[in-house]
Amino acid sequence: MALAAESFAGRVFESKELVLIRQIVEDCSGLSRMELARTVCELLRWERPNGSLKARECREFLERLETRGKVRLPEKRSGRKPGAVTCVPRTAAGEPGRRLLGTLREFEPLSIERVANREQRLLFRELVGRHHTLGHKVPFGAQLRYLVYVSCPERAAAGALQFSSPAWRMSARDRWIGWDDETRQRNLQRVVSNSRFLILPWVQIKNLASAVLSRAARRLRQDWFEQYAVEPLLLETLVDPSRYYGGCYRAANWHAIGQTAGRGRMDSEHLQGETAKLILIYPLVSNAARRLRED
């Protein structure tokens, strides 16, 4: 039976591909959802530029198909899916530390370290989970996380950042770039979202936040390319204007370009209501919009 084409995460799945997906799900019912996702990615060659499979996105797509009655997936197994709220550790490392008050020069050198091992992952989860207003959630798609340290008078954690896959569609951003749907689908992976940014509440160092954003942006270009074989051209972030002005972003030369429509990231059917967020962007190259239209 023919199935209507489906679009998800920048890819259009034609009817024959959806029939194949349904056949894979039926024939491989003993696999977990993530194993099914990897199988679908391999057969349909749904990959990142570095050759790794888009398994997280594929699992989300399979679950969307299930909600629409197009496939029947196996029961969920233990584990956290993207977007899930995680269990947050509570250790001494996450307790409020000595108040850090002064100018950035007094606490230099500033260190922005990529999260790379279990100890760092747990610390990141605890700091963000306990002290960020949005808490910690498993990010969607590609992601890199960083911990921020000051060095004087002694080494101490000062904050954390998370960069991850961008929103599939945002009208204000897409207008600023000049995207049509086809070009957006082709180049969306070159946009990266700053999905979490935290300066710890007891850290009150003048200009620290804007300095972290500026240095992290420079660091991210190389790290993202090394990890995913994609050159990022534009950063984006969302700020709740009822609570924040986004002053540290503006001080780091991020620009406000409009607001979201007030829907969730995965709400393609316009069913969920959310507070409209302010969209701020930071071009990583001088001709970012042109390259995102033309590359």
Q: Which amino acid is at 124?
A: F
pLDDT score recorded for residue 142: 82
pLDDT score recorded for residue 266: 42
- With a cut of 80, say whether residue 30 has pLDDT above it: no
CB atoms within 10 A of CB 74: 14
In this structure, the answer to whether residues 229 and 96 fall within a common structural domain is: yes
The residue among 53 and 278 whose pLDDT is bigger is: 278
The residue among 256 and 153 whose pLDDT is bigger is: 256
Q: Is residue 1 part of a domain?
A: no
DSSP per position, 77-109: PSS--TTPBPPPP--GGGS--S-EEEEHHHHPS
Q: Is residue 86 part of a domain?
A: no
- CA 37, CA 48: separation in Å to the nearest integer? 14
Please check whether residue 42 is in contact with residue 51, taking contact to mean a CB–CB distance below 8 angstroms.
no
In this structure, the answer to whether residues 123 and 30 fall within a common structural domain is: no
Q: Is residue 225 part of a domain?
A: yes
- Give, in order, the Cα–Cα distances in Å from 7 to each of 19, 128, 182, 230, 269: 15, 32, 11, 22, 12
**Which residue segment(s) compose the domain that 256 sits in?**
92-294
In this structure, the answer to whether residues 40 and 179 fall within a common structural domain is: no
Please check whether residue 281 is in contact with residue 235, taking contact to mean a CB–CB distance below 8 angstroms.
yes
In this structure, the answer to whether residues 105 and 23 fall within a common structural domain is: no
In this structure, the answer to whether residues 185 and 280 fall within a common structural domain is: yes
Distance of CA 228 to the CA centre of its chain: 14
In this structure, the answer to whether residues 136 and 265 fall within a common structural domain is: yes
Number of independent structural domains in the chain: 2
The residue among 1 and 112 whose pLDDT is bigger is: 112
In this structure, the answer to whether residues 50 and 101 fall within a common structural domain is: no
The residue among 51 and 222 whose pLDDT is bigger is: 222
Q: Is residue 87 part of a domain?
A: no
Q: Is residue 168 part of a domain?
A: yes
Q: Is residue 31 part of a domain?
A: yes
In this structure, the answer to whether residues 186 and 237 fall within a common structural domain is: yes
Q: Is residue 242 part of a domain?
A: yes
- With a cut of 50, say whether residue 271 has pLDDT above it: no
User: What is the mean pLDDT of the segment spanning 18-37?
Assistant: 84
* Mean per-residue pLDDT over the chain, rounded: 88
In this structure, the answer to whether residues 20 and 97 fall within a common structural domain is: no
- With a cut of 80, say whether residue 17 has pLDDT above it: yes
CATH number of 122's domain: 3.40.630.30
pLDDT (tens digit per residue) in 62-99: 998 988 888 888 887 655 555 556 688 899 999 999 99
The tokens 């180049």 sit on which residue?
A: 187
Q: Is residue 111 part of a domain?
A: yes
pLDDT score recorded for residue 268: 40
pLDDT score recorded for residue 176: 96
pLDDT (tens digit per residue) in 86-138: 688 899 999 999 999 999 999 999 999 999 999 999 999 999 999 999 999 88
Out of 93-102, 139-148, 149-158, 203-212, pick the least confident.
Answer: 139-148
In this structure, the answer to whether residues 162 and 218 fall within a common structural domain is: yes
Q: Which of 52, 67, 82 is the last residue of a domain?
A: 67
User: What is the mean pLDDT of the segment spanning 133-161?
Assistant: 92
- Pairing mode, if any, of strands 203-206 and 100-103? parallel
Which is it for the CA torsion 32, 33, 34, 40, positive or negative?
positive
The residue among 233 and 184 whose pLDDT is bigger is: 233
pLDDT (tens digit per residue) in 230-266: 899 999 999 999 888 899 999 999 999 999 987 554 4
Out of 16-30, 133-147, 191-205, 267-281, pick the least confident.
Answer: 267-281
In this structure, the answer to whether residues 61 and 106 fall within a common structural domain is: no
In this structure, the answer to whether residues 160 and 239 fall within a common structural domain is: yes
- CA 180, CA 178: separation in Å to the nearest integer? 7
